[in-house]
Structure 1
């Protein structure tokens, strides 16, 4: 039976458990032939083969959320491992994170070129040493200082094993070679997909690491054609369809190729949910979005939890 049935169970557990941390209970499921397992709200992919299977679209797929910059909330700053853990206390989630590089070539989690907005330090990441960054503390989005430190990419990759799928946003100053080396050295090929924004970048990354999953921006039929011209197989593609909702027919065209769609609801669409009600997240999924990349992962997961299909066909993977 397809691995996707196993992961379907995960998303049912995760989405039903996002009201409160107290609702989270440990679940156990039978292992299948690939030894991919589920424990509570965590994902455990044994190898890259299970990632391919997980990201192959099927009609019984369960809608997911992706926590943009790890899902910061008050007291939990962006791109912090403690923030990732906080989101996973409420719902299973893909974790999107940003990687920058220090003066001495250490890969750290940081979105901005500068340290000023998110830490109590100052200066450009690429102009300071890792030793300096180690001395800093992260600030949340309200500017409140926390006790959390800036993690390295290696620490994040190691933490995520058996817990979460990652999508890695590579800042322009970071060589692709460094990212791939870190993914390889931590045996993270099975759960770390790399984000690209241009077709040349995607083609280069695929040539360097053809086994890795890539998140590639594909927003229209022309970009579907351009992707196919790169020679990257659809089995290695997760389609980021942009920050505006796409026609149902376009999403279906990607589904017919076995591809998951990620709709970026962060920004305007998240704000629409705040003003019009969180049920709008369900409408995005009904229109063909499979993964909602959001700044509100806990709320979005709660809104789409009622959309999970009947559990009757997935009894093999139920909690014992």
Structure 2
């Protein structure tokens, strides 16, 4: 009897451990599904995009462990920062220099990939961790079936960005940040399956994307860092075109010292018309907007656990 009880306890412990490690994932397999996930319907599920991969204590920005830590709490996409090494590998690093986020010093571009892999990453408080600098290839491979990566514009040539996504057939789980319609057109001409996080902060910018012939089905709009009444007509025009809108709280509301004020700001962003929030505080922002998720949504099919 004692042996049976012990075996049952071990089995239950293993089950609980497995559940604890489950990740919230986005079930998106290809570009068409990504476009459907991002299409504004009016009954969408608001969600979080982790700025720099999410910036949470103990988990360095732009690292796969940081992505996984966020996904243990909430489904999310991740904005990440590709940079070139001395030997033309692509790694994830926000700054052009190593000092703030690693145990190294100097420019990323002065080191080979092998040299950078010897360094350790620091978390948001400057604590050295056991984690290493990932390559973009490692991130793309890891992300498939779990989340969507959004590549910010740093020092990687457009051609290299287009090639690595196409080579990996990753159009369904890797998006490209574009600042102008001209940039979007360059990518779209090379691969009609690319999907963009596009800077659309004004009616004039919106008109430029239409003039360039970029399908709105391929665009999620970044409208700026401030939640302000002036955005309402822009939301309306973009939503009519089926476009979701995003506010980044990283340079604004994430920096507020008061947690209650941050929560109120995150909630107001969704209530006032944005569909998603790009936040450093990815887990905190997700918790704040949890009660704003509609009881029923056709988008539920894209959310799951793994």
Match of 2:263 among 268, 278, 301: 278
What secondary structure is seen at the aligned counterpart in 2 of 1:170? Answer: coil
What secondary structure is seen at the aligned counterpart in 1 of 2:49? Answer: strand
Higher relative contact order (CA 8 A, sep 6+): 2
| Equivalent residue runs for 1:1-320 within 5 Å | 25=19, 41-171=24-154, 173-246=155-228, 247-272=231-256, 274=259, 276-311=261-296
**Matched residues in 2 for 1:79 and 1:295: separation?**
11
Q: Once superposed, which parts of structure 1, at least 4 consecutive aligned residues long, lie more than 4 Å away? A: 22-26, 312-319
Could you report, residue by residue, the CA deviation over 1:33-70 in whole angstroms, capped at 9, with x for unpaired residues? xxxxxx85112322111111111111110111110001
User: Per the alignment, do residues 218 and 315 of structure 1 end up closer, same or farther by CA in structure 2, a change over 3 Å counting?
Assistant: closer
Aligned to 2:3: none
User: Per the alignment, do residues 318 and 94 of structure 1 end up closer, same or farther by CA in structure 2, a change over 3 Å counting?
Assistant: closer
State TM-score, norm by structure 2: 0.87
Structure 1: give runs of 5+ residues left out of the alignment: 1-21, 27-38
Aligned to 1:7: none
User: Per the alignment, do residues 276 and 24 of structure 1 end up closer, same or farther by CA in structure 2, a change over 3 Å counting?
Assistant: farther
Aligned to 2:6: none
* Residue 293 of structure 1: how far off its partner (Å): 0.5
**Matched residues in 2 for 1:305 and 1:110: separation?**
30
The number of residue pairs the alignment matches comes to: 285
User: Per the alignment, do residues 24 and 227 of structure 1 end up closer, same or farther by CA in structure 2, a change over 3 Å counting?
Assistant: farther
Structure 2: give runs of 5+ residues left out of the alignment: 1-15
**Matched residues in 2 for 1:80 and 1:141: separation?**
12
Could you report, residue by residue, the CA deviation over 1:4-46 in whole angstroms, capped at 9, with x for unpaired residues? xxxxxxxxxxxxxxxxxx89959xxxxxxxxxxxx85112322
What secondary structure is seen at the aligned counterpart in 1 of 2:73? Answer: coil
Aligned to 1:35: none
